[in-house]
A = this chain, B = another copy of it.
Amino acid sequence: MALEVQVLKLFKMKSGISKSLNNSVAKAFHLLDYFNVAKPEWGVRELAKETGANKSTTYRMLATLESLGVLRKDEISEKYSLGLKLFELGNRVSIQSAFVSQTHPVLKQVAEEITETVHLGILKDNEVFMVDKIESPKGLQLNSVIGTSSPAYCSGLGKILLAHLKQGDLKQALESIDLKTNTEFTITKKTILKKELEQIKIQGYAIDRQELELGLICVAVPVYNQKNQVIAALSAAGPSIRFQEEKVESYVATLKKGARTIQQKIGNFKI
C-alpha cells in the first residue's frame, strides 16, 4: 500500500468520513483547486511536483479533464487552464439557494444564542437585499421579508456593507442615495453618514439605533469570504426596550463567530 493511500485513509478516518467516496473524483477537484488567480496555468510536471503526485497520473488526469472541456490546453505553451465547461456549470448554479443552504444553519445557531431576530443581507444596487432571516424565538416579529430590498443608509446591515465598499464605489453609492427621514434618529446628512461609515469600518460593526423604525435597534457585522472580501452582512435586531448598551459587545462577538463560520463554509464565493 502506497504512502499516499495510507494518508488518505487516515484522513478519512480522522474527519469521520466513513462513506466510501470516489477517490478519482475527489482527486480531480483537488487538482482543479490549484488553478487560481495567482496561478491560472499549469504544465504537467510542475503541477505533479506541486501536488506531490506522480506525473503519469497527473498527465492522465489533466488529459481527462481537457477532453471533457473542464480544462483547456493552450496550443502553444501546452499549459492547462480552467475551461468553458466550468463556466457553463458555474452559470447553472442557483447561488441564492446554494448560498443560503450553507448559511442558514449558522443563522439559526446565532439566533439561538442571541435570542433575537437574525438577518443576512447583501448589497444589491446600493440597497440591502435580504437573503435570509431567522425569527426571534421571543415572538416579537419584524416586518422584514426575505427577497426584498431596503435602503442601506438607515440599517445596521446597510451601513456595515457601505462602510466596506471600495472608495470609488462608495462615492458612487453615496451620490445615488437619497437620505429620507424615517425617524428622529435617521441620519440625513451625507457628511455625517460618511464620518459614521469611517468609524464603523474601524470598529468592525455597525449599530442602527432606531434610524429606520422607532423602537427598532440592530447590530451588524461583515461576512468575509476566504479572500477576505466582504460579501454579506449578518445582524441581530430587536426592540429597543430589550436593548442594553452593555450587551453590544457580546452581540458583536456572537455575530462575528457566526460570520467566521460562514467564511469557512463558503470558500472564495463572491456574489
Chain B residues with CB under 8 A of A94: 40, 81-82
- What does the 1/0 interface line of A1-45 toward B look like (CB < 8 Å)? 000000000000000010111111110110010011100100000
- What does the 1/0 interface line of A244-271 toward B look like (CB < 8 Å)? 0000000000000000000000111110
B124 and A98 within 8 A (CB): no
Question: What is the CA–CA distance of A70 and B148 in the complex, to the nearest angstrom?
Answer: 14
Question: What is the CA–CA distance of A95 and B81 in the complex, to the nearest angstrom?
Answer: 11
Chain B min CB distance to A268 (Å) = 5
B267 and A84 within 8 A (CB): yes
A68 and B25 within 8 A (CB): yes
Size of interface on A: residues with Cβ below 8 Å to B: 60
Chain B min CB distance to A154 (Å) = 21
A88 and B147 within 8 A (CB): yes
Interface pick from A57-65, A112-120, A173-181: A57-65
Q: Does A224 contact B (CB under 8 A)?
A: no
Question: What is the CA–CA distance of A99 and B72 in the complex, to the nearest angstrom?
Answer: 10
Identical copies of this chain, number: 2
Q: Does A51 contact B (CB under 8 A)?
A: no
Chain B residues with CB under 8 A of A74: 101
Question: What is the CA–CA distance of A81 and B271 in the complex, to the nearest angstrom?
Answer: 12
A-B contact list, 18 entries, CB within 8 Å: A17-B67, A19-B63, A21-B67, A22-B28, A22-B60, A22-B64, A25-B64, A25-B68, A32-B89, A40-B94, A72-B101, A75-B101, A82-B94, A82-B98, A83-B93, A84-B124, A86-B90, A89-B147
